[in-house]
C-alpha cells in the first residue's frame, strides 16, 4: 500500500511563494511518475505538473508555466512543487499523486494513489 502525505500549504498574498512537499512510503518511489493536481471550490480536479521517475522530464499546465517548478528527491522519497508569483486563481486544494504508468500523465484516471491534499489560499 502506498501512502502520500502533502504539506506546505497555507495562506499567502498574491505575488508570494509557497513550497509544497509530498512524502511517499510503501513502495519504491523512484520507480514511479508523480504528479500534482489541484481542485478549486466548485471546479473539477485538474492537472498542474508532472515529473518522470528520474526527474529529468517535467510537464506543466499552461497556466503555471514559468511560475511553478516540480522536482523530486528520490533519496528522500519526496516530490516538491515550488510555487512563485502566486495568483488568487491558484487558490485550491493541492494533491500529489502516483501513477504506475512510466510516461508522464495528465489524466486523473491514470493515477493510482493520492494524498489527502493541502490547502493553498492566495489573497488579492
pLDDT of residue 54: 93
Mean pLDDT of 81-109: 95
Share of the chain above pLDDT 70, in %: 100
* pLDDT for 56 beyond 90: yes
Question: Rounded to 5 degrees, what are φ and ψ at 69?
Answer: -135, 125
> Binning pLDDT at 50, 70 and 90, where does residue 113 land?
very high
Would you call 77 helix, strand, or coil by DSSP?
A: coil
| Beta-strand pair 18-25/68-73 | unpaired
> Binning pLDDT at 50, 70 and 90, where does residue 89 land?
very high
pLDDT of residue 30: 82
Set of cell numbers at residue 15: 505575488
pLDDT of residue 61: 98
Mean pLDDT of 75-97: 97
Q: Which long-range contacts (CB under 8 A, 24 or more apart) does 55-63 make?
A: 57/104, 58/104, 59/104, 59/106, 61/106, 63/89
pLDDT of residue 102: 84
Count of other CB atoms within 10 angstroms of residue 10: 13
Of 28-42, 61-75, 77-91, the one with minimum mean pLDDT is: 28-42
pLDDT single digits (tens) 18-46: 999 999 997 777 889 999 999 999 999 99
Average pLDDT score, the chain: 95
Amino acid at each position: 500500500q502506498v501512502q502520500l502525505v502533502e504539506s506546505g500549504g497555507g495562506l499567502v498574498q498574491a505575488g508570494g511563494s509557497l513550497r509544497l512537499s509530498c512524502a511517499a512510503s510503501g513502495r519504491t518511489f523512484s520507480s514511479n511518475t508523480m504528479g500534482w493536481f489541484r481542485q478549486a471550490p466548485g471546479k473539477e480536479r485538474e492537472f498542474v505538473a508532472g515529473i518522470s521517475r528520474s526527474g529529468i522530464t517535467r510537464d506543466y499546465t499552461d497556466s503555471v508555466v514559468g511560475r511553478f517548478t516540480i522536482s523530486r528527491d528520490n533519496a528522500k522519497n519526496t516530490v516538491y512543487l515550488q510555487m512563485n508569483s502566486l495568483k488568487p486563481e491558484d487558490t485550491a486544494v493541492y494533491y500529489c499523486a502516483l501513477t504506475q504508468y512510466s510516461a508522464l500523465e495528465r489524466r486523473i484516471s491514470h493515477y493510482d494513489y493520492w494524498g489527502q491534499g493541502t490547502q493553498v489560499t492566495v489573497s488579492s
